Amino acid sequence: MSAVLTMVVVFLISGAVFVVSAVGIGGRGSRTAPAGAVRYLETAADHLNGDAEPPAAVSRLFPAA
């Protein structure tokens, strides 16, 4: 049962990452979603796609060698 639950959680996380990346790549969503949510998703998509500098918290967590 725990394996099934783990796979469901992994599937949901991967689906969320895909949706955020797709919104950022396509630039869509501004017509249907609130402006704050779209801005947040586009920023997250830029980071996931490698188009933006990593957030400061991530840079502190993983310092460059």
C-beta separation of 47 from 55 below 8 A: yes
The boundaries of the domain holding residue 38 are 26-50
One digit per residue, the tens of pLDDT, for the chain of length 65 reads: 788 999 999 999 998 888 777 766 555 555 666 667 777 777 777 777 778 787 777 778 777 65
Count of structural domains within the chain: 1
Token pair in block for residue 33: 């979603």
pLDDT of residue 27: 58
Contact 24, 44 (CB under 8 A): yes
Query: What confidence score (pLDDT) does residue 7 get?
Result: 93
- Rounded Cα–Cα distance for residues 55 and 44 (Å): 10
pLDDT at 40: 77
